[in-house]
Structure 1
Amino acid sequence: MASDTWLIAGLGNPGPRYRHTRHNIGHMVLDELVDRMDAKYTRTKVGAQVVAARLGAGGPKVVFAVSEGYMNTSGRPVRGLMDYFDIDPERLVVVHDEVDLDFGRLKLKRGGSEGGHNGLKSITQHLKGDRDYIRVRVGVSRPPGRMDTADYVLQKFSAEQAKDLPQVINRAADAVELIITDGLTATQNTVHQS
């Protein structure tokens, strides 16, 4: 029988060059969650940095993780952590950037297609095609004009977006915590109406 532990994976790329780019908003949300726990990441053998803790006193067990590799290899460390902690896909929450949502909008869903997102494709591949995990999609907007999407998501946020970014990150972190404590449907009802 699988454990009741949750795995929260924030997608992004490693290193200072990518730290404040749109593609790394998943990392930013995880950093906020880890800060709330007053914890520090530790390195693992599977290529991820993690914090394993309880959400609140006596609350659910949660593993917060960011990959040390690039976005398109996210699946390997996620699968390694799921195997190590015996976590089912139903208890996997992936936080990632979403160009099909306006900046700052959040959309939560379970399953569905990867929508061209290489991080999600890698995770689904390493889960042998299982898409039954939860996605916290954080809107970064579409690129302007004819700009290539890959170039756009690897750029830093605009000055105007950067002003609102802390609030967006906080709302996404709140949504992750609510998914764990209240369930996906209740959280969708709260988040999608705001």
Structure 2
Amino acid sequence: MIIYGQHNIYSFRLFDYTDCPEGPILPGAHSIERFLIEEHLHSIIEMYHLERKDCAAHLLNFPYKLKIPLEYCIVEVIFAELLHMPTPRYLEIAYGAILIELCKLQPSTMPQVLAQATEMLFMRIDSMNVSCFDRFVNWFSYHLSNFQFRWSWEDWDSCLTLDEDHPKPKFIRETMLKCMRYAYYLKMC
């Protein structure tokens, strides 16, 4: 995760070109193309953030979508907004709702990219700010609650050997507690 900043303009870097499978190449971290793509995606979110379905549709209809790995750019921009310090621009739930709509509209690619991003954030969680940690827990548990709580938990088995106060087991524990609350609510309805 790299953050570049100058004159209060920050770019969040989660992916590089090696993270994307074959197909269009992700522009380099310092390339003007990447900044322009991000700026356009941020403006779409700004314009449509109150209407999750419209926002997701407009994000997926990005004009140059065939020339870039669009799903990677979208996920990176949404996480940049969600994890922005000191607070995100919009309500945290808005970003979660947009990501859910994106997964519904693009089921062949978006869930895999989102899972890859989740894995990358989880691997770097020990250096994550506490506020970002909490937002990540909130988003992930909300996302799981909308997809039948399915996740490949066995990939994170190595956390069982860590101290319980380490950020990774703590993340899993807090996510599970939130998921139990969501599941309890669903059983009550």
**TM-score of the pair, normalised by structure 1:** 0.33
Structure with max Cα Rg = 2
Q: Structure 2 length as normaliser, TM-score?
A: 0.34
More strand by share: 1
**More helix per residue:** 2
Which has the bigger relative contact order, CA under 8 A and spacing at least 6?
A: 1
